[in-house]
C-alpha cells in the first residue's frame, strides 16, 4: 500500500512540474503589442514550439516555433492563445485566455471641443438587481441620443431615449456601453468598457 501511495505521489509531482504555462498580460488593447513567453520551458530544441490562435482577435508576429512570441490586439473580444511544445516528456500543451479591449473612440467632429452642448460623459445607476440605468451628466433637450449596450454573448441592444435602461445577468453582462450625442453642429461619443466579472458583484 505504501509503495502504491509513493508511486502516485511521484506521478503527481512529475505531472505538475512537467506542465508549461504562458506568461504575459491577460488584457490588452486593440493595436497594442505584447510579448508572451513559455515558462517551465522543457522543449527539446529552440524551434520545438508551435503557437496558434483560433480567430482574428489577435495576430501572432514573429517565429511561431520559438519560446517567445509577439501578440497584437486586432479586434475586441476574448480569445485563446495556444502553444504546443515537443519536450523530453512528450507533447505538452498550454493555453492562455487573452481579452482584447477596443480603444475609446475619438470624437467624430472636428469642432467637438467647441460643442454647442455641455455633455462630457454619462452616469450609471442601479435600478434593481437585473436593470442598470444610464443618463448623460447634463441632460440637454433637442439633441439626438443613441445608447448601445454590447453584451458578452455578442448581442446588442439600443435606445434613442435621453435616458436608458438595460437588463443584465451574471451570465450575460454588458461588455461595453456607448453613448452618441448629436446636435446640428456637433457629435460626441462616450464609451465605458466593463471587466468580465463586473456584473457578478453589481
pLDDT digits (tens, 9 = 90+) for 142-191: 999 999 999 999 899 999 999 999 999 999 999 999 999 999 888 898 99
Q: Is residue 8 included in any domain, yes or no?
A: no
Residue 59 CA to residue 114 CA, distance in Å, equals 38
Are β-strands 90-101 and 27-29 bridged in parallel, bridged antiparallel, or unpaired? parallel
Domain boundary among 101, 134, 161: 101
The pLDDT of residue 59 is above 60: yes
Position 115 in a domain: no
Say if residue 41's pLDDT is above 90.
Answer: no
Q: How many domains does the chain have?
A: 2
Residue 197 is predicted with a pLDDT of 82
Residue 139 has pLDDT above 70, yes or no: yes
The answer as to whether 6 is a domain residue is no
Lowest mean pLDDT among 3-12, 46-55, 57-66, 141-150: 3-12
For residue 15, what pLDDT band results from cuts at 50, 70 and 90?
A: very low
Q: Rounded to whole angstroms, how far apart are CA atoms 20 and 202?
A: 35
Q: Is residue 11 part of a domain?
A: no
Domain membership of residue 188 as a residue range: 122-200
**Sheet strands side by side (includes 164-167):** 122-128, 131-136, 164-167
Beta-strand ranges (E) seen in the chain are: 21-23, 27-29, 33-39, 49-53, 58-61, 68-73, 77-87, 90-101, 122-128, 131-136, 144-151, 156-159, 164-167, 174-182, 187-193
Amino acid at each position: 500500500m505504501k509503495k502504491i501511495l509513493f508511486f502516485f505521489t511521484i506521478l503527481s509531482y512529475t505531472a505538475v512540474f512537467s506542465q508549461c504555462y504562458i506568461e504575459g498580460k491577460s488584457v490588452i488593447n486593440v493595436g497594442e503589442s505584447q510579448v508572451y513567453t513559455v515558462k517551465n520551458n522543457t522543449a527539446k530544441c529552440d524551434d520545438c514550439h508551435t503557437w496558434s490562435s483560433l480567430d482574428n482577435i489577435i495576430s501572432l508576429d514573429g517565429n511561431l516555433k520559438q519560446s517567445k512570441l509577439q501578440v497584437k490586439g486586432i479586434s475586441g473580444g476574448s480569445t485563446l492563445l495556444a502553444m504546443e511544445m515537443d519536450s523530453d516528456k512528450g507533447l505538452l500543451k498550454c493555453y492562455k485566455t487573452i481579452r482584447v479591449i477596443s480603444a475609446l473612440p475619438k470624437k467624430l467632429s472636428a469642432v467637438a471641443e467647441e460643442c454647442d452642448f455641455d455633455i462630457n460623459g454619462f452616469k450609471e445607476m442601479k435600478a434593481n438587481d437585473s436593470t442598470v440605468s444610464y443618463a448623460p451628466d447634463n441632460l440637454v433637450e433637442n439633441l439626438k441620443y443613441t445608447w448601445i449596450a454590447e453584451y458578452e454573448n455578442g448581442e446588442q441592444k439600443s435606445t434613442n431615449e435621453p435616458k436608458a435602461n438595460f437588463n443584465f445577468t451574471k451570465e450575460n453582462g454588458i461588455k461595453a456601453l456607448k453613448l452618441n450625442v448629436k446636435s446640428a453642429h456637433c457629435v460626441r461619443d462616450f464609451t465605458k468598457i466593463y471587466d468580465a466579472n463586473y456584473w457578478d458583484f453589481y
